[in-house]
Structure formats: structure tokens, C-alpha cells
Amino acid sequence: MNSPMSRENYAKLIGQELGVSEWRTIDQKQIDAFAETTGDHQFIHVDPERAKRETPFGGTIAHGFLSLSVLSAMSYAAVPTLEGAIMSINYGFDKIRFLTPVRAGKRVRARFVLSEVMMKSPIELLARTNTTLEIDGEQKPALVAEWLGMHFFSN
């Protein structure tokens, strides 16, 4: 975990990489659990034999939203926290593109580049982070996204 950073120093990082996460494997067990949670049981995710026979992927792939959801955990260790923040929430995405499927058993990691910091009020800071989920051994990333986070401070 990074040590907390002042809002002023954080804003000076616009255009810079905030951090890169550790590699994380997305395995079939995790894909199956995500399918159970979301009700998305499409064969390309949950039937390794059929996916091997009928898709160009050579087996099952992670749901796009599973690939997106691992970003939260990856950001905790890679992105600095802000001094005085009492909480931070996911504010959404302005753009998400799923570029390469994550095949079951592949490792992924995330890169975070700060692109904008805006004080919405004296106690609310909105940060835009250009986020890339890379796949180990692949040229193209799994996804790219403009991720918004809202950080709240006490009066």
C-alpha cells in the first residue's frame, strides 16, 4: 500500500502513471463463480470443451465484466491514497473497450494513469484514471477504460 498523498501533490501527477498492479490469474473457478453470481452461463465462459471446439479462443474466456471487476482490487495496491479522504467510491466509466478476451488461466495486471483531477466541492475530488488491463504474453490489452473515482473528505 502506498503512503497517503496530499491532494495538491496528487494533482501534480496528471499525465503520469500512478502505478502498476501485481499479476493476477483469472482461472476457470473464478469464471464459474462469476457466472453463478451474474447468471451469465454462456458456453464461451463455462464449457471448456465446447469453447475449445466452437470458438477461436482455444477454450473458455472470462466475462468482460469479470475482467473489469478485478480492477478494483488491483487499484488498492497500485494507486496512492489521499490524505484526509474518509472514503472513495467508484463513480463510473466514461469509456470502456474490451479489446482482447482473457482466456481462462491467463494472468492480468492493470496500469493506472491519472488524466484529470477536479474538485467538485470543498469535500469532493473527482479523479479520472486511464486504466489498461494487460494480459501476460498478449500484445493487445484485455481492456482500456476511463475510470472515474470520487474521493470524499471531512469538512
**133 located within any domain:** yes
On whether residue 34 sits in a domain, the answer given is no
For 127, the domain range is 7-27+70-153
Mean per-residue pLDDT, 119-144: 97
Do the domain assignments include residue 59? no
Three-state secondary structure along 71-108? HHHHHHHHCCCECCEEEEEEEEEEEEEECCCCECCEEE
Q: What is the pLDDT of residues 78-118, one digit of tens each?
A: 999 999 999 999 999 999 999 999 999 999 999 999 999 99
Please state the pTM of the whole predicted model: 0.94
Residue 117's CATH number: 3.10.129.10
- 48-80 residue pLDDT tens: 999 999 999 999 999 999 999 999 999 998 999
